[in-house]
A and B are shown apart, each in its own frame.
Chain A
Amino acid sequence: MSLENKVGAALFEVIDPELGVNIMDLGLVYGIEADEDNNVVITMTLTTPGCPMHDSIKNGVTYRVKQIEEVHEVEVNIIWEPAWSPAKMSDKAKAMLGFA
């Protein structure tokens, strides 16, 4: 399994505390990149700008990814373009929120 896939799998354990759905199924993670030194860059968004949980989710992602043995450094970039939309959610997340 590639490091990117391992990071992706770990991020299924980071839950949005308001919605009770993990950030991968919510479609918040736009990209995971790892270089040859195993430094990981995660590009992600949040459901709304000015979300009170901004720092909590960002720190949670950093901490969870650092727990993976091979990972050296972690950088989390929160971006607002392209904006998150419900279309980015998995069917599982949609069902959990009653949106299916």
Chain B
Amino acid sequence: MKIDTNIKLPLSFILFALIAFVVAQIILFFSSGELVAGQFRQPDIWMGAHFLLLGFAVMIAMGAMYQLVPVAFLTPIWSQTFGFIQFFVTAIGVTAFAILLGVKPNIAVYGGAVVVIGVLMFILQMVITISKQEKRNMMTYFVMGAISCFFLTIIAGFLLAWNIAFGSINQHNTILATHVLLGVAGWFTLLIFGFSYKLVPMFSLSHGFSMKWAKPAFVTYVVGLISLILSFWLNNGLIQTIGWFIVMIGFLFFFFDVKEILAKRVKKKLDKSFAFAILAIFIGLGIHVVAFVVSLIGISDQATWSWLIFLYIMGWIVFSILGYLNKIVPVLWWTYKYADHVGKEKVPLLKDMINERWNLILFSLFIICVLGLVLSALLQLGILVWIFQGLLTITTLLYTLAVIRILFV
């Protein structure tokens, strides 16, 4: 069975995403005043956030899935031509939507409609592809759970854009909370969980692990998400605290499995990029603990929760993506450029395609910038927010150039 994907498909998504990543950071740099004030619900921040989450994180996730689903699920992509059309529709939609959110939010719904079409095309593509998998496993449930959350996120997001344009739907804030939760914790977290069960053993060369916490992790995390959504709609603080507790336990179950996989690894010295993705798991778990504690002691101010969401997005989702991307792109490019040369001539190893020293510097800078940004914002030190966001923008640009450099090896 031929399961190879045309490299141009995942690469189109990844290159678009890297540009969006830099654009998002530039926009956030010029909006650092709003960041200091904890004013996240402003057009500029919406624009930056959607370039970051839709333009970067979602597009990377889509590109990575076009590459990983065939190899991990042993089933070819349903239609690669449809995939290219989906790329153009989504790229145009995301760009239009993010810009309109920043400059003319009252008509952003039209860009949003194009995004919805692009995402629905992607979901259709993945559901048909994955449904052809011969034998279901836990990874299938995580990925299908993630896709379901993605569908609901995009519907909730469209309702929000509709409301900004026409204002006919009540419960705007409840829909917003549902949209954010299903997007960052539902779609991205379940997706990273699912693929980590493939990628962590693969990159650490681990064998003989049990994955015994995978099912409890999936069930618990989904129950936690449902509890949180219920709490938003019922406006019930107790259910919300219970919900944060349950998702924290779900994350902890996943963490137990990763710990076992790493304990049973053959490759003792981990690559910097992969170690960074593993660090993101610790950060994700830490933020879940903090979210539960903050909810338990009854802190409900918007700035605290906004910065927690920011930390979750950057420290867990974006750091995971940045770490894995540095492993996925070399595999992609190596397969395209050198796969037919194995056994014929000396070909570079994957580690020859990346600069580990550079990665160490870049990943350290990302950690310093994100921590510095959050601390200086919480302490209301405007100049430091501006400096750290500026440094984050430069680091993002350097990271992007480092990934693009792989394509010239």
- A interface residues (Cβ-Cβ under 8 A, vs B): 13-15, 17-20, 47-57, 59-65, 67, 84-86, 89, 94, 97-99
Contacts of A19 in B (CB 8 A): 205, 267
**Proximity bits, B292-325, A CB within 8 Å = 1, else 0:** 0000000000000000000000000000000000
Is A47 within 8 A of B269, CB to CB? no
Is A59 within 8 A of B339, CB to CB? yes
Is B72 within 8 A of A50, CB to CB? yes
Contacts of B342 in A (CB 8 A): 14-15, 17, 56-57, 59-60, 63-64
CA distance A89 to B339 in the complex (A): 24
Closest 5 CB pairs of A and B: A60-B342, A64-B343, A98-B268, A60-B343, A56-B339
Contacts of A65 in B (CB 8 A): 343
A58 to chain B, nearest CB (A): 9
Is A97 within 8 A of B72, CB to CB? no
- B interface residues (Cβ-Cβ under 8 A, vs A): 4, 67, 71-74, 198, 201-203, 205, 207-208, 266-269, 331, 334-335, 338-340, 342-344, 347-351
B334 to chain A, nearest CB (A): 6
Contacts of B344 in A (CB 8 A): 60, 63-64
Is A15 within 8 A of B349, CB to CB? yes
Is A52 within 8 A of B351, CB to CB? no
Is B350 within 8 A of A52, CB to CB? no
Known contacts A61-B343, A97-B266, A99-B268; is A50 also within 8 Å of B74 by CB? yes
Is B207 within 8 A of A55, CB to CB? no
Instruction: Output the residue of B267, B348, B351 with the most chain A CB within 10 A.
Output: B267
Contacts of B348 in A (CB 8 A): 17
Is B343 within 8 A of A17, CB to CB? no
CA distance A87 to B342 in the complex (A): 26
Kindly report which residue of chain B lies nearest to residue A99, judged by CB atoms.
B266
Is A17 within 8 A of B338, CB to CB? yes
